[in-house]
Every structure is written in structure tokens, then in C-alpha cells.
Structure 1
């Protein structure tokens, strides 16, 4: 969770790295200004809203916070995202825009790579949602729901239905219902991290 300006900047750096957005050269800067990534725009706004919600939500800043919420809601609807604040750790990579629905009670660690048509939610009217570790890859169409825990360094396969906990690290899980398939090296799946 972003609790200071320093953490806010660290989250932005980690997210930018995760999305492979470079601004080192003049060409990169020109490309980013002429053809901005909608997902990067969304993630920057997500982090800014988190920072203002957690750190600067009083007095005169309240007006700016309300404005950010308005912008965030509009961009979320445009891209098909229903992602509440303070759920994802640093290093988030939303690969494509399209339907992604996340429950506000869910918690996802650092370096999550998430694809379209995914859902992370509660189950059966419960307020408890998945608690997902660090370095987790969520493939297109995955449904993760209920009072469950997903271990660090896990890859969740396309269209998997995950409704029970998986506490063993370095595993690929897939299927309906999901089951452990095989051991994996998460660095081969999420290439911008270094778990060694």
C-alpha cells in the first residue's frame, strides 16, 4: 500500500518496468507522447489515486482527490477495468485492456502480470476474497474466487477456475476446477522480475 510520496514513486518505477515502458532516449519520449499506452495511463492514475486516498485526502486536497476519482472511473469504464485501489502491489502489468474485475477485499502482491477476461472475487455473498502472493502470472480468462490463498511465484493458466488455496510456491495451476500441473520457474513467465 502506498503510504508516502517515496513509495508512490517506487510503485510508478516498478509498474513502468513491468510494462516495459522506456523513456531513456528522445525516440522513446517521442513515441510515448505520440502513442501513449492506455494501460500505463490507467496504472499511473491508479497509483496517483492510491497516493491521494492514503496520504492527501484532507482539506484542500479533497477536491483534487474527488477529481482523480472521477477521471479514474471514466478511464476504467473506457478500458473495461473494475479495479479498486489498494489491491495490487508494485510491479503491476496489465497486459491488454479489456474486462478485468477485482474485488476490493482481494490483495495481490508485487509483480503481478494479469490478462483480460479475468475475475478475482468473493464467493456466495462472502466478503472474503483471494489473497494472492508475489510474482503471480494470471492468464486470460482466469477466475479466482473465495476465501483462498495463492502462493508466491505461481502461474495460473488460461480459463482456470481457482476456488481453493494453493500454498506451494513455484507451481503452475490450471483447469476447471484448478489443480497443480507442474513446477515452474516464474522468471521464464514474468521476465521483468528477478527472484534469484
Structure 2
């Protein structure tokens, strides 16, 4: 959770260390997705900082507006204070949704189509815990009250509805362990 300027700097450095390079003006002019994803993550971290510290309502509103605007453009819905440092989002091809009651650890990777949500139509208040260094493949889904351990790979188009132990690869509908690391 970002509660100080040092925490904000740590989260931003962790997030941006996972990019190959920092986007530049050329990326903006050419509308390359790296520019939009970079700035979406940046504004998300600033929203978390100003939300948790209550330092400046005006700056909070500015970053919140930018975060929501880029979220609509990219079709991302990642709620503040849900994702740890070192987040990496590859590509902006499909919808990404991370529900409010979710805690994702460090250095996680999300590909397009990842949904972490509820089993039912109503919000049942179930919380999802995801460990460090988890890789979600293209179109992976996580539903219900689930705990996923550290160093897990969730295969493409897998549906996780049960707890997953650390250090394994899961795939299928419903997701089953196919390999232990």
C-alpha cells in the first residue's frame, strides 16, 4: 500500500523496471500501446498515493480523471490498492478486470482478457489473494474466493475456481495443476 512518497517512488520504479524501455514522444505520436499502458499504470499509482494520504484533492482528481480516461480507452478496470509493485501489463488487445476485493503480490503479469471477478451476479464479498511472480496467460479467469500461491503460471483461457499451491503451472477449465516447478 502506498502511504508515503518513498512508497510511491518504489512502486513506480518497480512497475517501470519491467518495461523494456521508457515510452517517448514518438510512441505518443504513433499511438503505440506502450505509451498508454505506461501512463495508465503511472496514474493508477498516483491515485493510490493521493487516496491513501489525502494530501491534495485537486491532484487526486487530476490523476483520477487521467486514470479513468485511459482505463476506458484501454478497456482496463484495475481498482486502486489491489496490485503490488512490479505490475506488468502486456498488450491492450482485450478487456482486463481486477475486482475491488483482490490482493495481488509483487511482479505479476497480466495479458489481455484476464478477469478476476465474482462467481455470481451479486458481489458476495469474497476476497482473492494472489502471490508474487504470478503470470496470467491470455484470457485467464479467476472466480470466487481463491488463493493462488507464489510463482504460479496460469495458462491461457484457464478458469481458476479453487486454491492453487505455489510453484506450479495450471491450465484448463476448471484449472488443474499440470506441472510442478
* TM-score calculated relative to the size of structure 2: 0.90
Please give the root-mean-square deviation of Cα atoms over the aligned residues, in Å.
1.3
Deviation string, structure 1 residues 72-96 (Cα, Å, up to 9, x no partner): 1111000010111111100000111
1-side partners of 2:46 and 2:37: how far apart?
A: 14
What's 2:168 paired with? Answer: 171
Q: Does 1:102 align with 2:98?
A: yes
What's 2:86 paired with? Answer: 91
2-side partners of 1:13 and 1:162: how far apart?
A: 30
2-side partners of 1:51 and 1:116: how far apart?
A: 26
Q: Which stretch has the larger CA shift, 35-44 or 5-14?
A: 35-44
1-side partners of 2:14 and 2:65: how far apart?
A: 25
2-side partners of 1:42 and 1:84: how far apart?
A: 12
Q: Which runs of 5+ in 2 are unaligned?
A: 29-34
1-side partners of 2:127 and 2:139: how far apart?
A: 18
Deviation of 1:172 after TM superposition, in Å, equals 0.3
Q: Does 1:21 align with 2:28?
A: no
The number of residue pairs the alignment matches comes to 172
Tell me, yes or no, if the aligned pair for 1:121 and 1:129 is still in contact at 8 Å. no
1-side partners of 2:151 and 2:45: how far apart?
A: 23
2-side partners of 1:123 and 1:131: how far apart?
A: 15
Q: Match of 2:97, SS?
A: strand
Tell me, yes or no, if the aligned pair for 2:102 and 2:129 is still in contact at 8 Å. yes
What's 1:144 paired with? Answer: 142
2-side partners of 1:133 and 1:164: how far apart?
A: 15
Select the residue among 157, 160, 167 that pairs with 1:159: 157
What's 1:115 paired with? Answer: 111
What's 2:66 paired with? Answer: 71
What's 2:76 paired with? Answer: 81
What's 1:35 paired with? Answer: 27
